[in-house]
Structure 1
Amino acid sequence: AANLGAILADHFARIHNIPAYITDPITVDNFPDIARISGVPGIVRKCRAHVLNIKAVAWAEASRVGKKLSEVNFVVAHMGGGISVAALAGGLIVDVNDGLLGMGPFSPERAGALPIGALVDLCYGGTYTRDEMIALLSNKSGLAGYLGETDLRKVEERIESGDAQAVLIYEAMCYQIAKEIGAAATALKGRIDGIILTGGMANSRRLTDILTDYVRFIAPVTLVPGEHEMKALAEGAIRALTGVETAKVYA
């Protein structure tokens, strides 16, 4: 959808003879070289995440505390069908897990980081094709794989009814998210002005309470539930038009 948006914006810009802007796409490239190294030559870590909402809530939180985004460091956890936990240094995403088919916590749909040996066995065991493996890891894992459910509210209903397996898997997901927040804090050398929990799952008081209990020793925790992407698109264009940010031209 993000890639299609650029094409549509260009189409309407040509019709109406006006500028078109794309702000904070899925893939940005602020990684320092050290963050690109994976451990296997030929495999490069990429900066791919829920950038639009991550940047939007970071801008808002910086404004709330009376600072420019360039003056603060945040860890932002965007939690939805996929989960991205980003380390922002002065507004730049200097590290983040790949929330689709990369590292990080499992999510309602996605597998997250896995033991490599077991993953290799699964790939070459003859049960799954390549496309089936991608579908399994990106759409049929996490809460969907363990509990057959991607709706966090329904999982919480099962917890309330005494479902012990739902409790275990839910708390394991929180545990993994908290560990990823800790890792992002380390990438910033502990120099953090705040931790922001956002995305659809941040509407859950149960989930945010568990996460806050894990990570509040690192930095103050702020909740910005939901996604604010339409507003973020407009605000990004306004920053370019008013000179707060300099628009870049991509050919």
Structure 2
Amino acid sequence: MTLKNPVLAHHISSQFNEDLQEVNAKFMAMGGIVEQQVTNAIHALLDTDVNMSLDVQYQEKNVNRLELEIDEGLTLILARRHPAAIDLRMVIAMSKANTDMERIGDEALKIANIAQTLCEEGGSPRGFMETRHIGNQVRVMIHEALDAFARLDADQALEVLRADVDIDREYQSATRTLMTYMIEDPRYISRVLNVLWVLRSLERVGDHARNIAEQVIYIVKGLDVRHTSVDEIEQRVHSR
């Protein structure tokens, strides 16, 4: 990942930037794997594809390896370069985003495991339409969050935060619908419950993508916007 924001590039020393490039490359590679994990996990569920589910499980070890390598690289940067100000914000943000990225992979693994169970036991009569819709939104969120991080684009990060609000709303609506269905027809409770767990994992993926976007705002604007409404974040970002 190349730092494309000219203001930030001006403030980051060439040696610091060189050290960070290697870590950034691993972070973006990890992001690409995780994004594909989520895509494959959703397809494994919707298409009852056991092989795709197994591929998600296989990629987990690569994600875990990269998480450890990124943490080690950032620790060495702190020890050797003693970054301050915006340089330090970059390292801190990368460390936190690294954790969120690994947790997205964990949620993808949960979905893949449920997909494998449903392949073996039979699909759910309800919930796949909601899964497809929310899953598509979440995949876009991950991609946009990674792109915002690569380009250090606070406005694009704000769009990710807005998308998370929409996903939370749709998740709650889908949950109510499926709960009502189970009450009215208890024959498929276990299968529909599995779909509810999938939707919960997708909602959490959205939360982690939001966290990554918040780190972009922290790097660019120096603002800690966690636990803050989107409207307030937008006002604070555009006032600086």
- Whether TM-score is above 0.5 comes out as no
TM-score (norm 1): 0.26
The structure with the greater share of residues assigned to helix is 2
- Tell me: higher relative CO, structure 1 or 2? Use CA pairs within 8 A at least 6 residues apart: 2
TM-score (norm 2): 0.27
